[in-house]
């Protein structure tokens, strides 16, 4: 389950504000290292938790599982003398386009004189920590794990022409090392092809942020996701609406985001003889406190998230709860 939820931490740990500010206060190298303790619980047939390895039915959404973990995360930056251009490495980027667990990213940021920012980044096709079931539909026997490899790139333009609007686009290719979906379910070769998970993902979003009171902001986002899978039963169009509330104080920051969306699938799943159309919602929150106990360059973070998906096929229903706390240090 951690492999699917680890991205939640980074989604909540993204930049606390898109308010105009320099990329860095000084030129040269900069780094942020964080150590976080996580508690994760929920249920999903697609979770590769060992407790969920065997399923005795395809009519339920998997066993309830939970785990506690400690993970380190790191970001490294290099800012040029102009303070307008920056190169960076992110060990796990927040703007994930697929459901893989980790997404290493190399990128460049440039700030224009009107304070708009351009980000261009690529993420290599790696499979570290990213695992799925070879055949998620295997019943009565242990399901085996296989690697999922994801690679691609993204571009973002923040505060376009000094406006409060930001647009983002990302594209990624995903491949499953040993794709055996449906091969134990008495399907024809054409039906098995419908379940192939190798895919091209695309995402486009537009967001803005505006004040409603002093140091309190609203941040609405409209987002479209599209998956073009080799198997049409896994291809979909996804539309989401997000609304965030951000509160800034002298030494603290708090943000809560409510997300709602729908996924409309292209073709019928041959195992269930229906499409897996679904609706989903999530509520996430982060609280960050600067220099607790007057510890210079340290931040304390507390995070939480709840996500639920309801599909026309109960096999794809899922629920997750995520809680994390940790410290980060800026070098």
pLDDT given at position 142: 96
Q: Give the pLDDT score at 20.
A: 55
Segments of the chain with pLDDT less than 50: 1-6, 8, 10-11, 14-18
If one counts every other C-beta atom within 10 angstroms of the C-beta of residue 147, the result is 16
Neighbour tally for 124: CB within 10 Å: 12
DSSP state of 46: T
Q: Assess contact for 274 and 312: CB atoms under 8 A.
A: yes
The DSSP annotation for 172-219 comes to EEEEESS--TTTTS---HHHHHTT---EEEEEEEEEE-EEEETTEEEE
Q: Degrees (nearest 5) of the Cα angle 170, 172, 176?
A: 155
Q: What share of the chain is helix, strand, coil (3-state, %, to 5)?
A: 10, 55, 35
pLDDT of residue 147: 92
Give the position of tokens 């899922």. Answer: 318
Which of helix, strand or coil describes residue 152?
strand
The neighbour count for residue 208, using CB atoms within 10 Å, is 16
pLDDT score of 203: 96
Q: What is the pLDDT of residue 122?
A: 94
Q: How many residues does the chain have?
A: 331
pTM of the model: 0.89
* Contact criterion met (CB below 8 Å) for 6 and 99: no
Q: Which domains does the chain have, with CATH numbers?
A: 2-330 (2.40.160)
Find, among 233, 229, 256, 303, the residue nearest to 5 by Cα.
Answer: 303
On the CB side of 198, CA atoms within 13 Å amount to: 9
Cβ–Cβ under 8 Å, residues 150 and 130: yes
List CB contacts of 188: < 8 A, sequence separation 6 or more. none
Residue 192 per-residue DSSP state:
H
Q: Which of 33, 83, 13, 99 shows the shortest CA–CA distance to 324? A: 13
């Amino acid at each position: 389950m951690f492999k699917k939820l680890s991205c939640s931490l980074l989604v909540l740990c993204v930049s606390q504000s898109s308010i105009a500010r320099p990329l860095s206060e000084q030129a040269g190298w900069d780094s942020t290292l964080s150590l976080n303790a996580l508690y994760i619980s929920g249920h999903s047939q697609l979770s590769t938790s060992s407790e969920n390895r065997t399923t005795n039915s395809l009519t339920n959404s998997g066993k309830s599982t939970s785990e506690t973990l400690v993970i380190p995360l790191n970001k490294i930056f290099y800012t040029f003398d102009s303070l307008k251009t920056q190169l960076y490495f992110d060990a796990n980027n927040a703007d994930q386009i697929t459901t893989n667990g980790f997404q290493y990213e190399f990128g460049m940021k440039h700030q224009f004189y009107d304070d708009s920012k351009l980000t261009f980044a690529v993420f290599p096709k790696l499979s570290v920590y990213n695992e799925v079931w070879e055949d998620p539909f295997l019943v009565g026997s242990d399901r085996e794990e296989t690697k999922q490899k994801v690679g691609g790139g993204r571009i973002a333009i923040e505060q376009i022409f000094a406006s409060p609007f930001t647009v983002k686009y990302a594209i990624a290719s995903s491949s499953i090392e040993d794709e055996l979906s449906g091969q134990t379910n008495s399907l024809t070769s054409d039906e098995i092809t419908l379940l192939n998970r190798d895919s091209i993902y695309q995402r486009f979003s537009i967001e803005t942020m505006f004040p409603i009171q002093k140091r309190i902001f609203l941040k609405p986002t409209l987002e479209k996701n599209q998956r073009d899978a080799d198997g049409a039963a896994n291809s979909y169009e996804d539309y989401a609406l997000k609304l965030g509330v951000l509160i800034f104080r002298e030494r603290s920051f708090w943000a809560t985001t409510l997300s709602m969306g729908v996924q409309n699938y292209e073709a019928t799943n041959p195992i269930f003889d229906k499409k897996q159309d679904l609706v989903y919602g999530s509520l996430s929150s982060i609280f960050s406190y600067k220099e607790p106990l007057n510890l210079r360059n340290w931040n304390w973070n507390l995070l939480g998230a709840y996500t639920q998906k309801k599909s026309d096929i109960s096999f794809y229903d899922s629920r997750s709860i995520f809680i994390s706390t940790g410290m980060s240090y800026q070098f």
